[in-house]
Structure 1
């Protein structure tokens, strides 16, 4: 995997950090595969900062990532969806990066054996900053040094990008040799797809523009490739992974219940927006580019629409009332 990791200006520290994330993914894979027989299914008695009940496997994955990233001194701090505040490791200038992550996306699907995943983003630490604090993480997604996710499905796959110029690559875990092997080189999302992914159970809370867009996709028009097929798992990693490989659109727009949106900007939206743009797609909150949003707090939420360029453009037109 090492040969695909770096950027032209990459150092051994950067590559080592990404390998640490890969190593953590191997450990989490082992826990996921044995979840049903190792007493790590079900919920804990804890509630996280998001107001959500913490699942046992959530806690295991979070602990694994923190311990692994702390080990070699390359990471100065981490921010996790499961933690109220950042976990500070070091102010040493040799700790050049900070990492933010959702340790286990799709917690509600853990106990029913549906694909789940880990999402992460890496930021370079400001060299002029003497002390590492929350402000280091509050940067727009366009400043990410790397982003990726791990999907624990029929196989375990790590999808990673270190920037548009380096592309997006997928590595499938081979348990017989204990390594992630390149299986999907230079992933490019189709310019237009034929499927959409959205929770239509929320339709009563959507704006008029989103409702109109949804009806448009379901209307018959063979010349335009409609109706679109609906595909919705309910795990962001699984729905986004399928959309990245096959094209189409994933949408979790803001609505009357969640006017600021539901998904977390730092841990979910930014990493996926970074990946989709690097693969030739687009990502928006419905009105602006996700990667241009300047966060003001660690657990900031946002609407998220990502996918094929033409499909996202069409959504934006409907959302703005232009269609």
Structure 2
């Protein structure tokens, strides 16, 4: 795991420029990624590092982002869920992407997205090394949520790649109203099942789960609530990858005034040595996460 070093003022200014460029690249690539989806709704003839068979759209988005982000002078490393190893692109910040989160939703034409994590350290990095995170959501409109400089901002991305801020200083609503929990119900551990039943019994809470993690997280960021891909009896570490999903989602939700957890601690404090290591993920309003941790601790 990388160790944190305090940057100089010159390095900080350079990093700020690079982060702006990274976010710009991702936003401007979004319409092209979206336009390329209809003809890439079939499985590729290869497995990714997690043993899953990606869609051709996953590979398409990965190759585009690798080329464009890797071309930036301030990006030194590129990694994605679709690649076994880190790609050396020079010197500077490290970028992790999930090129197409929820790509299985292509077949039924449901929501999916792109997740970005930026670290000021070699990969695999620690949560404390994160300097920015973002996700693009391909829904009825294309939007991008960014967490940078202690602020969460929502942009609408136009078909020509132009993007405009529509919500600034985004925070979770104080009165949560949605929940979404992943994994097969028979494989949930008992304390989590009991917690879920408690949440379901609240008439103010509504189920919102669509099979795309970032789409479900966006529901929580919009309406308040909780999303979880929990510990499972057959997958104690859950399904989601720390570098590509756990850290960036935790960073965004915490920057927006919410909380994140692996069941015991903030996702930003999770320590894993592998690039593709996994973690349980719980994110949402502070009170809901506190109750969850208490339930899992019983």
TM-score, normalised relative to structure 1: 0.84
Q: Does 1:315 align with 2:297?
A: no
Q: Does 1:288 align with 2:265?
A: yes
* Equivalent residue, structure 2, for 1:191: 174
Shift of 1:13: 4.9
User: Secondary structure of 1:182's match?
Assistant: strand
Q: 5+ residue gaps in structure 1?
A: 1-6, 126-135, 220-224
Shift of 1:60: 0.7
* Equivalent residue, structure 1, for 2:135: 149
User: Residue 303 of structure 1 is aligned with which of 276, 280, 291?
Assistant: 280
Q: Does 1:53 align with 2:53?
A: yes
* Separation in structure 2 between the aligned mates of residue 76 and residue 218 of structure 1, nearest angstrom: 45
Shift of 1:17: 4.0
User: Residue 157 of structure 2 is aligned with which of 168, 173, 181?
Assistant: 173
User: Residue 99 of structure 1 is aligned with which of 87, 95, 100?
Assistant: 95
Task: Map 1:198-277; keep pairs closer than 5 Å.
Answer: 198-199=181-182, 202-219=184-201, 226=203, 228-277=205-254
RMSD: 2.0
Cα distance change of structure 1 residues 260 and 13 upon mapping to structure 2, 3 Å threshold = closer
User: Secondary structure of 2:169's match?
Assistant: coil
Cα distance change of structure 1 residues 42 and 18 upon mapping to structure 2, 3 Å threshold = farther
* Separation in structure 1 between the aligned mates of residue 26 and residue 237 of structure 2, nearest angstrom: 32
Cα distance change of structure 1 residues 106 and 175 upon mapping to structure 2, 3 Å threshold = same
Shift of 1:156: 1.1
* Bigger Rg, which one: 1
The number of residues matched between the two structures is 290
* Separation in structure 2 between the aligned mates of residue 74 and residue 263 of structure 1, nearest angstrom: 28
* Separation in structure 1 between the aligned mates of residue 223 and residue 67 of structure 2, nearest angstrom: 35
Q: 5+ residue gaps in structure 2?
A: 1-8
* Separation in structure 1 between the aligned mates of residue 46 and residue 27 of structure 2, nearest angstrom: 23
* Separation in structure 1 between the aligned mates of residue 57 and residue 23 of structure 2, nearest angstrom: 17
* Equivalent residue, structure 2, for 1:129: none
* Separation in structure 1 between the aligned mates of residue 22 and residue 283 of structure 2, nearest angstrom: 28
CA contact (8 A) 2:27 2:163 kept: no
Deviation above 6 Å: which 4+ runs of structure 1?
A: none
Shift of 1:10: 4.7
User: Secondary structure of 1:73's match?
Assistant: coil
TM-score, normalised relative to structure 2: 0.91
